[in-house]
Amino acid sequence: MSGPAELDIPLDRPGRTFGAMRLPWSHDESAYGQIVIPVIVINGAPGPTLLATAGVHGDEYEGQVALSDLARDIEPSSLRGRLIIVPAANAPAAAIGRRTSPVDGGNLARVFPGKGDGTPTAQIAEGITRLLLPLADFVIDMHSGGRTLEYMPCAWARLLADKDLRARTLDALIAFGAPDAGVVAKPQAIGTFLAAAQSAGKVAISTELGGAGTLTPYSLSVARDGIARFLAFAGLTVLKPLAKQVRLLAVEPRHFVRSPGRGLFEPATSLGQSVAAGDIAGRLHDIERPDRAPETIRFEAPGIVMCRRVPARTEAGDVVAHLGQPSTREALL
């Protein structure tokens, strides 16, 4: 069923329009309150529609800043097509810099395509799926590591069985032009916006642009440059970006290293480092038991360290690092 989310602006108005997607949220502090999610639409000459989202996780800041800048700065007259920007998709989570929503604890990247009669977070997903996604030819959903993870700034994609969509997705990933790109060749996770966009047949990519709950000049430059290049790839601008060398890194479940228990994780590697199967990923210290030697944790597979956990304190099951295995466009097709 359709949910209560509504747009307060028309999406075909020429030029630049700042508006919002709104849904009711009645709570103790506001009987007739709303969740207000900023939406910016920029219409140029006739052409394709690109939907760009960030802030699906509220503690991932690179995309939120890069897309807000883009929304203000891009000249409508320079566009051949329509750009729809949602810089903080889970607005309540973004407002407090948390991964999940303070409204209902919802993780917006686990509830797509959403549910019209669901929780507020599921209603946000349903609103984006119903009101914005059908208009899009291209989708980019910008993520980062958030407060608990740090990534080498990279683009990210998952590949579906459809061969033509696989090829176009890889082309989009390479066009984004980040030095590295993570590719999930056999995706299992569902509930992400990326999965919903691909199910709808869109050419859709994501990113993992740094993280650690902070911003750096480098991660923001990868974000800004990448979105400009993706606009050109989609045909919305006439910019002809220089081809960039992009290292494709295939990511599989065996590449994830998890903590076996509670303790302080001492990493043995740095982001970008190349490791072999059996190499030491780090040591887990039990500070309450200094008489016990720390536990050695090893990589199961070879690869490049793409991601690390930020807080040293870990619990059983926490991902402390993950790898990607260098691959090629041909091998991934």
Strand, coil or helix: what is 22? strand
For 51-76, the DSSP string reads EEEE-SSTT-HHHHHHHHHHHHHS-G
Nearer Cβ to Ca ion (57/309): 57
φ, ψ for residue 103, nearest 5 deg? -75, -45
Q: Nearest-CB residue to Ca ion?
A: 143
Nearer Cβ to Ca ion (192/314): 192
Q: Which of residues 30-59 bind Ca ion (CB under 5 A)?
A: 57
# residues near Ca ion by CB under 5 A: 2
CB of residue 99 vs Ca ion: minimum separation in angstroms?
7
Nearer Cβ to Ca ion (43/198): 198
CB of residue 193 vs Ca ion: minimum separation in angstroms?
10
Q: Which of residues 191-210 bind Ca ion (CB under 5 A)?
A: none
CB of residue 208 vs Ca ion: minimum separation in angstroms?
7
Nearer Cβ to Ca ion (143/166): 143
Q: Annotate 67-103 with b (16+ C-beta within 10 A) or e (fewer).
A: bbebbeebebeebebbbbbbbbbbbbbbeeebbbbeb
Q: Which bin fits 55, alpha (ψ -120 to 50), beta or left (φ > 0)?
A: left
Nearer Cβ to Ca ion (57/255): 57
In this structure, what token pair is assigned to residue 82? 């329509």
Residues 6+ apart with CB under 8 A from 162: none
Q: Which of residues 86-145 bind Ca ion (CB under 5 A)?
A: 143
CB of residue 164 vs Ca ion: minimum separation in angstroms?
27
- Please state, in angstroms and as integers, the Cα–Cα distance from residue 214 to each residue in 121, 129, 136, 271, following that order: 24, 29, 30, 16
Q: Which of residues 284-323 bind Ca ion (CB under 5 A)?
A: none
Q: Quick one: which of 193, 195, 147, 168 has its CA closest to 52?
A: 193
Nearer Cβ to Ca ion (63/114): 63
CB of residue 192 vs Ca ion: minimum separation in angstroms?
9
CB of residue 212 vs Ca ion: minimum separation in angstroms?
13
Contacts to Ca ion by CB under 5 A: 57, 143
